[in-house]
Chain A
Amino acid sequence: MTKDNPAYKFSMQVDYGKYLEFAAATGFKPKPEKEMPVVPPTFLATAEAWLPPGTWPAGEILGFDLKRSLHGEQEFIFHKPIRVGDRLNGRIWLESTFSKTGSRGGEMRFSIWVTDFHDENGNSVAQSKMTIVETGSEK
């Protein structure tokens, strides 16, 4: 699996209803639809809503145990502002995976997942990077 051969592909519409829902959930003051507002910085987390329910790359591809996994880090980079009304194509791929010995002795596994977002003309508009950590089985 690579950038050119992603694990998942999806298409998402940045719609105003989802923008309002996300704004309400995060204390963000929404703007009128007619302004085609720029979405808040973590809005692209809603890409998950455009994948089949239950999609979880770290579990499906690396066998991470959901009960022992944590979200370690998250990053969003914007090459242009993402606005209500945009249609985006997404590709999810595994950038790297590595292990460390945890403080309680078990093996901690790390995986870094990248989602590249392109507009309808194929221009790269944003990138999301997510670090998922599976803690050791020794609790």
Chain B
Amino acid sequence: MNLNESQVIATREFGPISRTDIVRYQAASGDFNPIHHDIEFAKSAGFDDVFVVGMLIAGYLATFASDLVGVESINKFKIRFQAQTWPGDQILCSAKIIFADQHINGNERLVTLELIAKNQNGVLAATAQADARISSDSLLLSSK
């Protein structure tokens, strides 16, 4: 991996998301909003089915970002949800890596990961950004 490249594209797939995956995330996070697991409740709110917790998509993108630059180096993570995803959806994540021009503290460098998550039909589910400080020899990009 050549750090002189200004951008690198990496991709990763998650899912297909099962109803069990939704429940597993809700139990782990403590967010028990019934709209994500109780189909009668979801229908009463005007939806055809339960939809995936947005923060599960956020969690996938955060895992993807962590595997790219190292979890310890990320000091900011921000996500904007664009469309709901549904049980059975696959989540296709991609990252663009933008290197700051200047090094800080010797060989440390600021990078920003621009992340997107789409479903299997190409519908944009979320956009996110992760800011990280990495040392020039620590980038963990092993695959594209």
Which residue numbers of A lie inside 8 Å of B, CB to CB?
A: 18, 21-22, 24-29, 37-42, 45-51, 53-54, 56, 66-68, 70-79, 81, 139
Contact = CB atoms under 8 A, between A and B. Distances in A.
Interface stretch (B3-11, B65-73, B94-102): B65-73
**For A26, A71, A77, A79, which residue has the most chain B Cβ atoms within 10 angstroms?**
A26
A26 B61 CA distance: 9
Contacts, number: 115
Contacts of A54: 32
Interface string B17-38: 0000100110111111101000
B28 A78 contact: no
Interface of B: 14, 21, 24-25, 27-33, 35, 41, 44-46, 54-56, 58-60, 62-63, 65-67, 71-72, 74-81, 130
A59 B31 CA distance: 14
A73 to B, nearest CB: 5
B81 A48 contact: no
From DSSP, what is the main secondary structure of chain A's interface residues? Answer: mixed
A26 B66 CA distance: 12
B74 A26 contact: no
B47 to A, nearest CB: 9
B79 to A, nearest CB: 5
24 contacts: A21-B24, A25-B25, A25-B28, A26-B59, A27-B14, A28-B59, A28-B62, A39-B71, A41-B62, A41-B71, A41-B130, A45-B55, A49-B29, A49-B30, A50-B30, A56-B33, A70-B54, A73-B81, A74-B54, A74-B81, A75-B78, A75-B79, A78-B74, A78-B75
A27 B62 CA distance: 10
Contacts of A73: 78-81
Contacts of B54: 70-71, 74
A46 B58 CA distance: 13
